[in-house]
Amino acid sequence: MRLYFILSLFVALYYVIFKSRKYMHMLQQNWYNDGNRYFNWIIDNSKKVFLNFDILFLVFIALYFIRNIYVSIVYFVILYLLSDKIFESKIKKEQSKKPLVITARIKRLYVTMLIIYLICVIPMILCFDQNIIDKYYFLIGFMIYINPFIIMCANTINKPIEKMVFNHYKRLAKNKLESMNNLKRIAITGSYGKTSTKNALNDILNVKFNSFATEKSFNTMNGLMISINNKLDKFTDIFIAEMGAFRRGEIKEKCNFIEPQYGILTVIGTAHAESFGSRENIQKAKFELIDSLPKNGIAILNMDDEYQTSYKIKSECKKVWVSIKNKKADVYASNIKLSSKGTTFDCTFKDTNEKVTLETRLLGDANVYNILQAVALSYNLGVSLEEIKIGVKRIKTVEHRLELKKYGEINIIDDAYNSNPVGSSMAVDVLGLMSGKKIIVTPGMIELGDKQYEYNMEFGRHIARVCDEVILIGQMQTKPILDGLKREKYDEKKIHILNDVKEAFPLMRKLANGETYVLLENDLPDIFNE
């Protein structure tokens, strides 16, 4: 009987390994529970996490009184074969914005998690008593049921190891930076627009210099270290580091590590308001970059952002202000023209009164700000107007950020990584400039603290003024947007509520009529499918 018991455990083991991928993915997306993000995700999604087929392990309470060993073994095997099948089917339907990356850290987590399970199971095997096999199965079933918390426990156990690994790679990266005496270091932060500004700056600077920027949205300390250790080489003239943060002190820590001479602050908004606590905290956190700049450094700032103009800067570095509204700025844009093919605008440098007309395939005012800040720093680093013009024309679209794509005959404006009120409003404005039928697909905005309902309702009101059809992802998640649409007396026949973004694509085709533009707006990962 012990042999049958051991064989039955292999079915459960396979299921645990497969199920764990989902929750390790969520742990990874939530910064390995930094700031209790993963724990909060479990609580916020408790119904989805715990009201599933796994709960049938409770049947072993009844089976204990029946005392039929063979029934218990067969039930256990069938339960986890079916659980695996159902879970696998569910995962295939979910839309994931960022897939799980099987890093060395994830592998270590798997080992620690399996050790926790083995600590529970090995005494059962060694001291096997067939009369209490139902109790064994109940305990194993409970451990599988609370798998999200077992993973969190494994993550906590591994923290000292991860700290040692982190410090090792941090020393390697710091030594590499210190060995490159002539390297110019630029840091970019802000509530949004960081990645787009970074890529624009890199494309412009590479016309004249050998510039290297951190990849994708790698803006954590780990991301910076990976970029420096694996990609930065001795031929690089300029290093551009994107810096993100969820709380005060993080950007200061990154600045102490990188020691940038130049900094760009894009916009101070409400992104991650929940973790920062207040707009004032966000302002102070973002200005940690500018306040860290040396006296001979340069800060590129946005004059149209009241949270930048109202801040008393501590650094004595040179300040260069950009604007698309105020001609008192050091560098300003005028004559902005948007079309389905891109954007053109005039860029004027106040000190020299030089002007250049720039063309880009990027869309929207948000991208004009991003390019303007990149141009301002490039100009101050000695890039000529002609080189700037060439560089701006070369700027590539950033994946999922107002990226124009084709889906059959439908034109897609993919802004799926956006999650802030200003950027979302600008994206709808871009959609409004397009000819033909206009459709939006959105699950709404998240991590906006106590203003989340208000911002999403206003977003709904703005959508009502522009869009011909609205596809909302998640009934509960998008209720504020629905309320905003209703306030504007939007035709309810043109509102479509789905629970999975994948269902939106066949609906788009059905709703399309002639020339059609569809805006995919805000975060659309599997965490928000209901």
Residues 412, 388 within the same domain = no
Residues 372, 408 within the same domain = no
In this prediction, residue 336 carries a pLDDT of 93
In this prediction, residue 107 carries a pLDDT of 97
Q: Give the H or E element holding residue 65.
A: helix 59-66
528 has pLDDT over 50: no
Query: Residue 275, by phi and psi: left (phi above 0), alpha (psi -120 to 50) or beta?
Result: alpha
The per-residue pLDDT for range 142-197, each reduced to its tens digit, is: 999 999 999 999 999 999 999 999 999 999 999 999 999 999 999 999 988 899 99
pTM value > 0.85:
no
Does the residue 68 lie in any domain?
A: yes
In this structure, of 57-66, 103-112, 295-304, 510-519, the range with the lowest mean pLDDT score is 57-66
Residues 32, 117 within the same domain = yes
Does the residue 63 lie in any domain?
A: yes
Residues 133, 189 within the same domain = no
Comparison of pLDDT for 475 and 417, the residue scoring more:
475
Among residues 346, 361, 394, the one where a domain terminates is 394
In this prediction, residue 221 carries a pLDDT of 92
Residues 106, 9 within the same domain = yes
Among residues 334, 365, 394, the one where a domain terminates is 394
Does the residue 29 lie in any domain?
A: yes
The per-residue pLDDT for range 428-452, each reduced to its tens digit, is: 999 998 889 999 999 998 877 788 8
Q: Which of 79, 67, 93, 92 is nearest to 144 (CA)?
A: 79
Its domain, for residue 125, covers 2-157
Does the residue 207 lie in any domain?
A: yes
Q: Give Cα 478 distance to the centre of its chain.
A: 19
The per-residue pLDDT for range 6-63, each reduced to its tens digit, is: 999 999 999 999 999 999 999 998 889 988 889 999 998 898 899 888 899 999 988 8
In this prediction, residue 34 carries a pLDDT of 85
**Residue 463 main-chain phi, psi, to 5 deg:** -60, -40
The neighbour count for residue 528, using CB atoms within 10 Å, is 20
Does the residue 465 lie in any domain?
A: yes
Of 92-106, 335-349, 472-486, the range with the highest mean pLDDT is 472-486
77 has pLDDT over 50: yes
In this prediction, residue 128 carries a pLDDT of 95
Does the residue 171 lie in any domain?
A: no
Does the residue 440 lie in any domain?
A: yes
Please answer whether residues 262 and 293 qualify as being in contact, where contact means their C-beta atoms are separated by less than 8 angstroms: yes
**% of residues, the chain, pLDDT over 70:** 95
Number of structural domains (the chain) is 3
In this prediction, residue 273 carries a pLDDT of 57
Does the residue 170 lie in any domain?
A: no
Comparison of pLDDT for 114 and 415, the residue scoring more:
114
In this prediction, residue 526 carries a pLDDT of 39
In this prediction, residue 525 carries a pLDDT of 47
Residues 256, 357 within the same domain = yes
The per-residue pLDDT for range 250-276, each reduced to its tens digit, is: 999 999 999 999 999 999 976 555 666
- Confidence band (pLDDT; 50, 70, 90) for 530? very low
Q: At what angle do helices 385-394 and 365-380 cross, to 10 degrees?
A: 140
**CATH code of the domain containing 470:** 3.90.190.20
Residues 286, 351 within the same domain = yes
The per-residue pLDDT for range 390-417, each reduced to its tens digit, is: 999 999 987 778 888 888 889 999 888 7
In this prediction, residue 93 carries a pLDDT of 66
Residues 470, 511 within the same domain = yes
527 has pLDDT over 60: no
Q: Which of 151, 168, 54, 53 is nearest to 108 (CA)?
A: 151
Residues 377, 453 within the same domain = no
529 has pLDDT over 60: no
- In this structure, which long-range contacts are made by residues 481-490, counting pairs with CB atoms below 8 Å and at least 24 apart in sequence? 481/442, 481/444, 481/456, 481/457, 483/457, 484/456, 484/457, 484/458, 484/459, 484/460, 485/460, 485/461, 487/457, 487/460, 487/461, 488/460, 488/461, 488/464, 489/464, 490/463, 490/464
In this prediction, residue 95 carries a pLDDT of 57
In this prediction, residue 455 carries a pLDDT of 93
- Assigned token pair, 172: 């390697």
Alpha carbon distance 200, 194 (integer Å): 10
In this prediction, residue 28 carries a pLDDT of 92
